[in-house]
Structure 1
Amino acid sequence: MVENEAQKLTNEQPAEPEVEAFSFGDPETVLNDRIIDGLGVWLLDNGRYYSTPVSLTGLAKLLKANAYHGPILEFKTNMVMRGFQGNSVVKRRDMKKATTDYNVFANCYFKVYRSVYGEIVRLQHLPAINMRRCKGQDCYGMLNNTGQLIEFKPGEVIHIANYDVTQTIYGIPGYLGAIQSMLLNEDATLFRRKYYKNGAHIGYIFYSTATGLDEKTRAKMKAAIEKSKGLGNFKNMFLHIGGADKDAIQIKPVGDFSTKDDLEKIKNISRDDIIAANRMPPALAAIMPGQNTSFGDLEKVDAVYQRNEVTPIREDLLEVNDYLPLAARVSFDTPSNTAV
């Protein structure tokens, strides 16, 4: 009977080796749509007001997406406001808020207050992120916290906007072409931060052909690898398989993000796109020059920037003088170092 059992086992076909694979990490979605493809202006709320060509809330969120875009626009606002001469009609704090809106959204708004005689006695800043152009001529409204539109009287709002070639309702900022670079810069930073925070440093495939790996052993190995992530990572793992040859366990490297310069390249390239889109000289963008290089004479750089970027923005903002009486007009003092 023993011989019969032995003969039976000999005649059986060898069992097919079981293949088991599992992935490390969750799947990530890839956004293929371009943000600027959806640009357009339509009447909303039963035809009461025009939608903005691009999400103003999205533009506001971009200010915190990376270490360059928001600070550059804040710096540009400070440069524009340097030497501002206000008065009781147009106060400095209102003009600074309007300048910030103009740099971020390419739109800024003032509410007009008039005396009983019809003279303008005060211009108050209105937040551009909530302002909308209404259907009527020279009519504007402001969205409140509940999304309801509060309409102003015709002529009660002064709107200063950058010109857009696709429509004449709202202004469009010039940095839209760098939105993908702004988000890429943020994604690269978040990827590296998550890489170190969760300890997912497994850039390899754990490959095994050992016959001694039963289901229980495989479960223990899988648990040991998963526990190597998180705090206390880079743990060592002991593995013993009796009777297996030296090639039964192999580690197949796939890629190691920590040993490459991908992060630095991505950060530098996206940074250059951001400062170029904002037309900010690298010397004034608070970045370090490369090795064996310098940014030259900062006084000259500042003077050129004042003449080519700051002065045109000031000229746009000074359109408020078209509505103000002569005694209430505002101006900007020109710094003495603008001559090059």
Structure 2
Amino acid sequence: MKKGSMKGKPGNFARPAKPQRTQQSAPTAFSFGDPESVLASNITDYLGIFVDPHGDYYTPPISQAGLAKMLRANGHHGTIPYFKRNMLCRWLKDSPTVTRHDIGKAAFDFEVFGNAYFKVVQNRFNQPWWLEHLPAMNMRRMKERDRYCMLVPGKDPVPFAAGEVVHIKEYDPCQSIYGTPQYLGGMQSVLLNEDATLFRRKYYLNGAHMGYVFYTADADFDKEEEDALKEAVKGSKGVGNFRSMFLNVPGGKPDSVKIIPIGDVATKDEFERIKNISRNDILAMWRINGALAGILPETNGGFGDLDKITRNNYENEVVPRQQDFLQLNQVLPKQRHIGFSVPDFKEAVG
């Protein structure tokens, strides 16, 4: 690996130039821990960035693997980063310096982790000439200011030479080594949305809750009849087994058999309200309109003019993200600069 100098103006990127469950005693009951607030959370509460005891690199303030797993917790949270990546790549000009595919992967990393990394490949004259994407989840800043390494499972970290990695990052007021994603304040809403879905699934699977009490009085059943009744009730539970049951109690009274409901999934768990509120929080933390997130409008008026929404998203979200990636030009020769085209709707206005 060859060393090369990289000159440019300072920018917002580091560049090498200079419910645990507890079961109680009988009667059986379960207690669950309360969600932690941000002030008490180990996820976001840290004093600084420290050098890993097993290596010469700094540990990120947020678990990178945890942020990646969070994408699977909710449909909206998991797909919006792809949408934002597509919006950035949509107006990217073709360039011999970096492929559209590598810019797309780096854009996705930037949205999810708050960091994007590129390897600088030099030409025979020791000039920065090509850029290759490096996976943000495995990249680490080493103790030296201009050095980085990449973690490899089961092996020693792979170090890069000084000046070989360009690091674009979000601003974090607590430290300057790594960037952090902007959506951290909405993580509780993502998890609440997931919990509501899992809770509803358990209802449908029959067995995670008590649906009703089957009460009999003045009904003289023998052992064989009781066993048959138990089997009939048991057979009515489970996916696809919803059915009616006929019960004949000779000589019984009007109150001989009662069904006492315990939980009503349709009205008691407020599933739809929780899903909608947490969904709105997720859209707000990503700063994206529901029309762009694939959500059906709940009113006849809909979300409004989609063209205006798209233009607003371009001006307020896409352009600032383009400016983040245009910082790469500070380490590239002028003839190797990357750029973005202007949308048709902007040219029409101009």
- State whether TM-score is above 0.5: yes
**2:338 counterpart of 1:330:** yes
Question: Which secondary structure state, in structure 2, belongs to the residue aligned with residue 333 of structure 1?
Answer: coil
Letter paired with 1:33: E
**What's 1:123 paired with?**
131
Q: Please give the per-residue CA displacement for 1:10-42, whole angstroms capped at 9, x wherever unaligned.
A: xxxxxxxxxxx998xx96855523575433333
**What's 2:301 paired with?**
293
**What's 2:162 paired with?**
154
**What's 1:72 paired with?**
80
Question: Which secondary structure state, in structure 1, belongs to the residue aligned with residue 266 of structure 2?
Answer: helix
Q: How far apart in 2 are the matches of 1:243 and 1:183?
A: 54
Q: Please give the per-residue CA displacement for 1:184-214, whole angstroms capped at 9, x wherever unaligned.
A: 2223233333433447785223345669578
Q: How far apart in 1 are the matches of 2:217 and 2:147?
A: 75
Bigger mean CA offset, 235-244 vs 81-90: 235-244
Bigger mean CA offset, 258-267 vs 56-65: 258-267
Out of 78, 91, 97, which is 1:83 matched to?
Answer: 91
Q: For the Cα contact (< 8 Å) 1:109–1:159, is it kept in 2?
A: yes
Question: Which secondary structure state, in structure 1, belongs to the residue aligned with residue 104 of structure 2?
Answer: helix
**What's 1:13 paired with?**
none
* Structure 1 position 274, deviation (Å): 0.8
Letter paired with 1:32: P
**What's 1:38 paired with?**
43
Q: Please give the per-residue CA displacement for 1:37-62, whole angstroms capped at 9, x wherever unaligned.
A: 43333321335222222222222222
After superposition, the Cα gap between the structure-2 partners of 1:130 and 1:247, relative to the gap in structure 1 and judged at 3 Å, is: same
**What's 1:182 paired with?**
190
Q: How far apart in 2 are the matches of 1:177 and 1:242?
A: 63
TM-score by length of 2: 0.79
**What's 2:203 paired with?**
195
Equivalence map 1:176-255=2 (5 Å): 176-198=184-206, 202-207=210-215, 222-237=230-245, 246-247=254-255, 249-255=257-263
Q: For the Cα contact (< 8 Å) 2:214–2:260, is it kept in 1?
A: yes
**What's 1:56 paired with?**
64
After superposition, the Cα gap between the structure-2 partners of 1:59 and 1:323, relative to the gap in structure 1 and judged at 3 Å, is: same
TM-score by length of 1: 0.81
Letter paired with 1:250: K
Q: How far apart in 2 are the matches of 1:92 and 1:172?
A: 24
Bigger mean CA offset, 259-268 vs 122-131: 259-268
Q: How far apart in 1 are the matches of 2:36 and 2:224?
A: 46
Bigger mean CA offset, 123-132 vs 174-183: 174-183
Count matched residues: 318
Q: For the Cα contact (< 8 Å) 2:97–2:338, is it kept in 1?
A: no
After superposition, the Cα gap between the structure-2 partners of 1:198 and 1:146, relative to the gap in structure 1 and judged at 3 Å, is: farther
**What's 1:267 paired with?**
275
Q: For the Cα contact (< 8 Å) 2:204–2:239, is it kept in 1?
A: no
Bigger mean CA offset, 246-255 vs 98-107: 246-255
Question: Which secondary structure state, in structure 1, belongs to the residue aligned with residue 73 of structure 2?
Answer: coil
* Structure 1 position 250, deviation (Å): 3.1
Letter paired with 2:182: G
Q: How far apart in 2 are the matches of 1:251 and 1:317?
A: 64
* Structure 1 position 278, deviation (Å): 0.3
* Structure 1 position 93, deviation (Å): 1.4
After superposition, the Cα gap between the structure-2 partners of 1:220 and 1:28, relative to the gap in structure 1 and judged at 3 Å, is: farther
Bigger mean CA offset, 153-162 vs 197-206: 197-206
Letter paired with 2:320: P
Out of 153, 156, 159, which is 1:145 matched to?
Answer: 153
Q: For the Cα contact (< 8 Å) 1:200–1:230, is it kept in 2?
A: no
Q: For the Cα contact (< 8 Å) 1:110–1:124, is it kept in 2?
A: yes
Letter paired with 2:332: L
Identity %: 45
**What's 1:106 paired with?**
114
After superposition, the Cα gap between the structure-2 partners of 1:247 and 1:82, relative to the gap in structure 1 and judged at 3 Å, is: same
* Structure 1 position 215, deviation (Å): 7.8
Q: How far apart in 1 are the matches of 2:339 and 2:234?
A: 64
Q: How far apart in 1 are the matches of 2:338 and 2:218?
A: 82
Question: Which secondary structure state, in structure 1, belongs to the residue aligned with residue 321 of structure 2?
Answer: helix
Q: How far apart in 2 are the matches of 1:207 and 1:44?
A: 62
- Please provide the CA RMSD for this pair: 3.1
Letter paired with 2:176: T
After superposition, the Cα gap between the structure-2 partners of 1:201 and 1:221, relative to the gap in structure 1 and judged at 3 Å, is: farther
